[in-house]
């Protein structure tokens, strides 16, 4: 009897583990202009479990949502460097029309505007694209938000992710990396600092990396997966938090 109970429990646990968390990369960026309120809202409307956004600090100490260090790619070729430009100037730019006329007038959001869209039970994954200088301003904004517990942090900068974990000890934080070997070298330090795990470029994830991370009770997240076969491969390894440009579509493909 104990043997059969063990098998049943194992099967139930595996089923729970296999449930994916679909993170909309820069919002629903396949269909809407990335890192805008429109992209965040569309992601929630189409069933994403989380939205990932990128943030920089503008010259007037406002935290703005944009991936690049300047505005050229997503704002009609108008080139302003984020860190040396006041947010009021950045907000005058059109960050939506490049994706279609229906998005004309979308602005570079303040982080507060995206936080306001997060539904109950969902998560906002904040990637810090600048350095630790943004952390006091994130503390000011997120610290007074009722949605503070729904925020997760990721960052490529090692010093920055360490500092953000110190500032937000109750929020999950993950170090971003595209290198398996670099990640393996950092696992002990990540565990010692209380950082929850690593967020990896999906092609760098294999059984060895996942096993080593799990031995240290660390989580492994994956970015950016738009291929159903790769998502299935990651599931088989135990990776269930998947960042994708097409969350609703990918979910449909895997549930067929």
**Active-site annotation, residues:** 25, 67
What does residue 28 show for φ and ψ, rounded to 5 degrees? -80, 70
Cα 135 to its chain centre, rounded Å, is 17
Assign 202 to helix, strand or coil.
helix
With residue 77 as reference, give the H or E element that holds it.
Answer: none
Instruction: Return the C-alpha torsion angle 130, 23, 214, 2, nearest 10.
Output: 160
Read off the tokens for 56.
């920089």
Total Cβ atoms within 10 A of residue 43: 29
Q: How many residues does the chain have?
A: 256
User: Would you give the DSSP letter of residue 35?
Assistant: T
First vs last C-alpha separation in the chain: 34
């Amino acid at each position: 009897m104990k043997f059969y109970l063990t098998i049943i429990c194992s099967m139930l646990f595996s089923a729970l583990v296999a449930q994916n968390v679909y993170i909309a990369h820069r919002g629903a960026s396949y269909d809407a202009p990335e890192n805008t309120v429109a992209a965040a809202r569309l992601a929630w409307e189409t069933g994403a479990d989380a939205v990932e956004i990128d943030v920089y600090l503008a010259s007037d100490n406002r935290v703005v949502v944009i991936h690049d260090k300047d505005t050229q790619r997503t704002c009609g070729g108008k080139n302003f460097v984020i860190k040396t430009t006041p947010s009021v100037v950045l907000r005058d730019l059109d960050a939506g029309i490049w994706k279609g006329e229906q998005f004309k007038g979308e602005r570079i959001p303040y982080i507060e505007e995206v936080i306001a869209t997060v539904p109950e039970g969902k998560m906002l994954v904040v990637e810090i694209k600048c350095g630790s200088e943004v952390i006091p301003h994130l503390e000011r904004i997120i610290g007074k938000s009722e949605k503070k517990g729904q925020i997760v942090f990721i960052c490529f900068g090692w010093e920055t992710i360490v500092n953000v974990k110190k500032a937000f000890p109750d929020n999950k934080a993950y170090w971003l990396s595209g290198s398996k070997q670099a990640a393996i070298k950092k696992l002990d330090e990540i565990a010692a600092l209380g950082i929850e795990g690593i967020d990896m470029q999906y092609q760098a994830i294999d059984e060895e990396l996942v096993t080593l991370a799990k031995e240290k009770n660390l989580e492994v997240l994956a970015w950016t997966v738009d291929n159903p076969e790769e998502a299935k491969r990651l599931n088989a390894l135990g990776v269930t938090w998947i960042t994708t440009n097409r969350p609703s579509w990918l979910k449909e493909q895997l549930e067929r």
